[in-house]
Structure 1
Amino acid sequence: MIEHDPNRAAPTSAACSAVFIAAPASGQGKTTVTAALARMLRNRGKVVRVFKTGPDYLDPLVLAQASGQPVDQLDLWMAGEAYCRQRLFEAALEADLILVEGAMGLFDGEPSSADLAALFDLPLVIVMDVKGMAQTAAALVAGLAGFRDNIRIAGLIANACGSQRHRELIEAALPDAIPLLATVPRDTALALPERHLGLVQADEIREELEARFEAGAAALEAEGLAEALLRLPPVMFSAPDVEATQALSSLTHSLAGQTIGVARDAAFSFIYQANLDLLERLGATLRFFSPLNDAHLPTCDALWLPGGYPELHAARLAENGAMREDVRRFFAADKPILAECGGLLYCLETLTDYADSTHAMLGLLPGHGAMRGRRGCQGMQTAELPEGPIRGHAHHRSLAADTPAPIGFGRRQRHPAPGEAIYRQRRLTATYLHLFFPDNPAAVARLFMPGPAASCPTSETHSITTQEFHG
């Protein structure tokens, strides 16, 4: 952490202790351990800045509660190197320690967690669920360490360790250069609750999470892990590229005077903090509202209906007739609306939930949504919009049927087949894609600006077959 001096020139670099939390696969306990680490250090009075790799909404909310600091996504494809560098540099100016939680397995994806760690020279701590193995855990860690020569593994945290003897077997088998930093006991009181798209949202279980954070922090404190992490050599983070900063500054007032209504409640919560930050940076005023609980829209010039869990609250959304009527009037007035994934489902005529009950939705877009068990779509895609391309991702377990002809499709990261459909009716833009606004601020500004929509093919309203565009 650097002490700020107003009489000095802006720093061009910042040194800060930093650790990348990775694993050999999903489901190893990365988020549980990262949250416990953040709370342990926070309890010591340290400023901990946490980042999450990849397009994840749920983990950052949990990590923000654990650390008491905002949590942003870092993704080299979706956000770009310049954005990641800027966020890390800004964090290093204020933090005692930076934690970056990886996604999936260490080498999975293009780019992978390993690519991000290597680019910024972040030491890796491997979290591994060691239930059902002992010396093999050491072999797996050794294999990860030797797979590439541009990463460095600082140690292992053995999750779900069964006993002291279990610990001794793993520790004795580890290479000398890879210490066993800590073990986490097999204890259901430490694990974070999950549902069909990931962790249960933090706002729904705040008190329960607090108990789990404190239990995890106590377990890691007893292992002496805080001292081990804070002894690691600091990482040097360089200031962001001047040209990238100037390009964003030129758009600072593009949404000045515009008020954007943002749906945010238990049904609509898949919101990147970076998206909110960008809208405000562009000059917009944000007004949050709840389609579940509020009777009326706030006074605003544009709407953003983000993703979330409308399927879990479909009956209440249908019962809030006053809100639905307000949104319909807003749509009829040709004001800009962006609806993403769960927001898309809300804009259809009906939504059928997991209990096979069908509920009336807004009816702004012809079509019917339905949940489809555990089979889902996910993947990184670029939304090819008339306003300009914006990168993002898809992650859903629903389908939309009898929808209008789309104006386009998402462009997949590594596959030539069409991605998710993109619909436009009046000033409504609706898609299953979750957009990452900082990828193209100029396009985002045009998307929310008043007036006619950007030039695009006329969207016909004839019905077509069921849409299942896999991400």
Structure 2
Amino acid sequence: MPSTRCPAILVAAPASGQGKTTITSALARLHARQGRRVRVFKCGPDFLDPYWHTLASGAPVYQLDLWMTGEEDCQARLTAAAHEADLIIVEGVMGLYDGEPSAADLAQRFGLHVLAVVDASAMAGTFGALAFGLQHYRKDLPWAGVLANRVASTGHAYMLRNAIPEARNWLGAVMRNADMTLPERHLGLTVASEVPDAMARLDAAADALQDTPLGQMSLQDLRRWDTEFPLLHDARAVPALLAGKTIAIARDAAFCFIYTANLDCLQSMGATLRFFSPLANEAVPDCDAVWLPGGYPELHADRIAGSAQTRSSLAQHIAAAKPVWAECGGMMALFETLVTTDGQTHALWGLLPGEVTMHTRLAALGPQQLELATGLLRGHTFHYSTTETTLQPVARTARPQTEPSPQAGEALWQQGAVRASYFHAWFPSSPTAAASLFLPTGEVT
């Protein structure tokens, strides 16, 4: 593929909670329903926002992170998107300059033009100072402009507009509107598939955006934010380490933290993927290995406990010494009991010894890496629970550029062919190491 140019925007903000996801989804929905090809990406390790972006754009959504996914992977995915899309939108993470690497780092590395979304509900002239600071804090940051969000009235919008000296930088005001609010819970946004009126909310947001200068831009207008994406040699081909293997994956409202790139990675190594729902009490399909991804077991503890057929078939799979990889919520379901924040104790599958306790505050958050004999997996951790178990860790994760220690990082527990951890792995960071999670111990060297 030759190099190509495509409008590319990074939707950022001064902090979390400003409405980045809503505006990103609204912009994607606005152009998608006009028949344009939109590709959306999410900056950083996030499972939840991409559900909304996928619904809005009608296309798969992948993560971009200069550390977790790596610069080469980011470049390859952006280049591939540029060859098939009319518009690329990347949602940032936290505030524009927060984190290492930050959304600003990503924007500068790939020439993504920053669209700053600012919750202007409690400000007027200061809006201009905040926008100026975001634009000029770092030299040569590609800039698209600023959008005021949750604006109270046309008069309020007029004051905000007057705070921006350069007309080109003003992309409009989106009024406060409960109809376009995306519902949240303790780990972030509610998964779009669980919200009956999800598309109506996206359409309401797109309608609101359509009344702004940003929303009224044609494809030709968007070309002012063109970015060139050069051809790169695709070095991401992986050996067929899982050829002939079938991997059964739990997937429903309780087990929904699944990177699309992880599914792609397993398939690229030759695996056949089959899905089942523990909440529907479905038996584990005939397979060579099982993946129990993260999610919300704490919201569905009674249904998980009542999924006798799922538990029985999983126990048979484990008894046959077939591999199980369980991460975060998937791991939690394997333990004996779960104590929720209201103090109630719920029985779980009891396939690992121990008790999980939910807390009202985060227990762990941040990038992590797991060193296996087969390679180094990058990923992250994000959970509100802690676990007490008689199992002893066989390994621990570590933060980037640090060594694992007994006092830090997430434990990797192993009992027979079951391996479990709070660690969420990004499989493409080391396909060989990822494959080893689904093969009998020692089979991959």
Could you say whether these structures have the same fold, taking a TM-score greater than 0.5 normalized by the shorter chain as the test? Answer: yes
Does residue 166 in structure 1 map to residue 153 in structure 2? no
- Provide the secondary structure at the position in 1 that maps to 2:179: coil
Structure 1 counterpart of 2:27: 37
1:459 matched residue in structure 2: none
Give identity over the alignment, percent. 48
> Is the contact between residue 53 and residue 100 of structure 1 (CA under 8 Å) also seen in structure 2?
yes
Q: Is residue 2:137 matched to residue 1:150?
A: no
My pick for the range that moved more, 398-407 or 57-66, is 398-407
**Structure 2 match to 1:225:** 214
Partner of 2:229: 237
1:112-191 equivalence runs, <5 A:
112-176=102-166, 179-191=169-181
Spell out, residue by residue over 1:124-164, the C-alpha distance to the aligned partner (whole angstroms, 9 max, x if none).
10000001101101101101111111312211110011112
Q: 1:21-420 alignment to 2 at 5 Å?
A: 21-176=11-166, 179-205=169-195, 207-228=196-217, 230=219, 231-232=221-222, 233=224, 234-242=226-234, 244-245=235-236, 248-249=237-238, 251=239, 253-413=240-400, 418-420=408-410
SS at match of 1:88: helix
Moved more, 276-285 or 342-351: 342-351
Alignment correspondent of 1:14: 4
Q: CA deviation at 1:177?
A: 6.8
The question of whether the paired residues in 1 share the 8 Å contact of 2:304 and 2:349 is answered with: no
In terms of mean alpha carbon deviation, does 217-226 or 40-49 score higher?
217-226
Aligned residue pairs, count: 439
Are the aligned partners of 1:85 and 1:239 in contact in 2 as well (CA < 8 Å)?
Answer: no
Q: Distance in 1 between matches of 2:49 and 2:359?
A: 24
Q: CA deviation at 1:454?
A: 6.8
The 2-side partners of 1:403 and 1:127 are apart by 48
Distance in 2 of aligned mates of 1:318 and 1:142: 54
Please say if residues 341 and 358 of structure 2, whose CA atoms lie closer than 8 Å, have aligned partners that are also in contact: yes
What amino acid does structure 2 have at the position aligned with 1:316? R
Bigger shift: residues 346-355 or 142-151: 346-355
The whole-number CA distance in structure 2 between the counterparts of 1:51 and 1:100 is 5
Q: What is the SS of the residue equivalent to 1:286?
A: strand
Shift in CA distance, 156/229, structure 1 to aligned 2, threshold 3 Å: farther
Q: Which whole-Å deviations, capped at 9, do the CAs of 1:358-411 have from their partners, x for residues lacking one?
A: 222222322111111133311100012233220010000001013411011111
CA contact (8 A) 2:13 2:117 kept: yes
Correspondence for 1:431: 421
- For 2:66, what is the secondary structure of its paired residue? coil
| 1:267-296 per-position Cα deviation (integer Å, ceiling 9, x unaligned) | 100000000011011100000001111341
Secondary structure, aligned partner of 1:80 = helix
Which whole-Å CA distance do the structure 2 matches of 1:166 and 1:37 have between them? 23
Deviation for aligned residue 1:414? 5.8
How far is 1:172 from its partner? 1.5
Aligned to 1:19, the other structure's residue is in SS state strand
Would you say the 8 A contact 1:142–1:175 is kept in 2?
no
Q: In 1, are the aligned partners of 2:432 and 2:444 still within 8 Å (CA)?
A: no
Contact 1:347 1:364 (C-alpha < 8 Å) held by counterparts? yes
What amino acid is the match of 2:143?
A: I
Shift of 1:93: 0.9
Q: TM-score, normalization: structure 2?
A: 0.95
Q: In the alignment, is the contact (CA less than 8 A) between 1:312 and 1:353 conserved in 2?
A: no
Separation in structure 2 between the aligned mates of residue 171 and residue 414 of structure 1, nearest angstrom = 44
Quick one: which amino acid aligns to residue 297 of structure 1?
V
Structure 1 unaligned runs (5+)? 1-10, 456-471
CA contact (8 A) 2:362 2:382 kept: no
Partner Cα distance (1:120, 1:184) in 2: 28
